[in-house]
Amino acid sequence: MPRYKNFLSLTKTRKTTYEFDQKNISKTNILNILEAARWAPSCGNAQPWYFIVVEDKKTIKQLVGTTHYIHAPFIHPLPPVVIAFVLPSDKHMHQYFEEEYTHCCIHSQCTQHQNEEELCFAMSVFSSTLAATDLGISSCILTPQQDQATKLLKVEKIGVVRLLVGLGYEKNNAFQKARTRRALKDLVFYDGRRK
Ligand SMILES: Cc1cc2nc3c(=O)[nH]c(=O)nc-3n(C[C@H](O)[C@H](O)[C@H](O)COP(=O)(O)O)c2cc1C
């Protein structure tokens, strides 16, 4: 029996969890979540991402402590697992994936490249959260202060820790933030016009 009626119900069920239970998640589930992240689409199939699985409580506390934007309430109790998503530097990608690392731009003066990598990177992060939801695992996406998180995980030679995904099970009676979205009618244009 599928857990969700359809993909739409899966995407709507994914939410930011603010209070985690301390029950661990299995290695198999972690790997399934990372498998979904690995299969995200990317520009020219560049796959600009690495994943660091962090389970050490002290490191998780330090990492979450570097969070850039704080929306009340802050994440607490912390998730038992954090995946640090590393955005590799251009230099690293050229050095290690020269042959398959094609630039998607046709102009030699392209300045969009870093933006495109960030777009791809975000797809991987989002895939991981959907896969987690599908497995009944709760998640939160956090923006760390890049320099601090990168230094903490010692990945300066590869790139930067750009986003964190906390994973775990939601605590009983956890705080629920009201979840809203703008109305579709205010977002959609048909041939440039609102209907
Ligand atoms: C790229 C990205 C970065 C985010 N960074 C933070 C963050 O640093 N701190 C935080 O509390 N929430 C962060 N969030 C979570 C958003 O606040 C949250 O997704 C949004 O309020 C919508 O709520 P929902 O996830 O429950 O649908 C981030 C979300 C995304 C997609």
Q: Cα separation of 140 and 128, whole Å?
A: 11
Q: Contact at 8 Å (CB) between 85 and 155?
A: no
CA distance 133 to 131: 5
Domain topology for 18-172 = NADH Oxidase (3.40.109)
Locate the domains of the chain by residue range: 18-172
Q: Which of 85, 141, 170, 177 to mutate to test the pocket of ligand 1 (most atoms within 8 A of CB)?
A: 141
pLDDT tens digits for range 88-107: 998 998 888 876 665 556 56
CA of 170 to the centre of ligand 1 (A): 16
Ligand 1 midpoint to CA 192 (Å): 30
Q: 139-167, pLDDT tens digit by residue? A: 999 999 999 999 999 999 999 999 999 99
> Taking the model in full, what pTM does it have?
0.93
Q: How far, in Å, CA of 91 to CA of 158, rounded?
A: 9
- Cβ–ligand 1 distance for 68 under 6 Å, the answer yes
